[in-house]
Amino acid sequence: MSEPTLPPVPPLYAPPPAPVYVVRQTSALAIVSLVLGLLGWTLLPFLGSIGAVICGHLARGEIRRNPATVDGDGMAIAGLVLGWSLIIITVLTLLAVVLFFGGLAVLFGALGMSGQL
């Protein structure tokens, strides 16, 4: 007669569960905001900046609504910074030009110069 076999002994501890990795997709609007912000400084001076600001705000809203699945907040912020900075610089430059030439017109008017040679 053969000896009875004992059942296998279960382990004293349970193995740790396998880690779950969540893949976060980068927001397309954040990428577009960054690209338009760069284009605003190079090829599309004012239009690119306006597009960067609009897409950047939309991307930030999308990322806040789905923080577990959507990534790209840094790119959206970079697009916003590039866009707003160029818009502010453009407005200040236009204001300086208007004030400069307006000041010249007032100065010439005060001196009695009509601008005709």
Distance between CA atoms of 113 and 106, rounded to whole angstroms?
A: 10
Do 26 and 63 meet the contact criterion of CB atoms below 8 Å apart? no
Q: Output the pLDDT for position 82.
A: 97
Q: In 3D, which of 40, 80, 46, 41 has the Cα closest to residue 60?
A: 80
**Quick one: pLDDT band at residue 44, thresholds 50, 70, 90?**
very high
Domain ranges of the chain: 25-90
| Model pTM score | 0.74
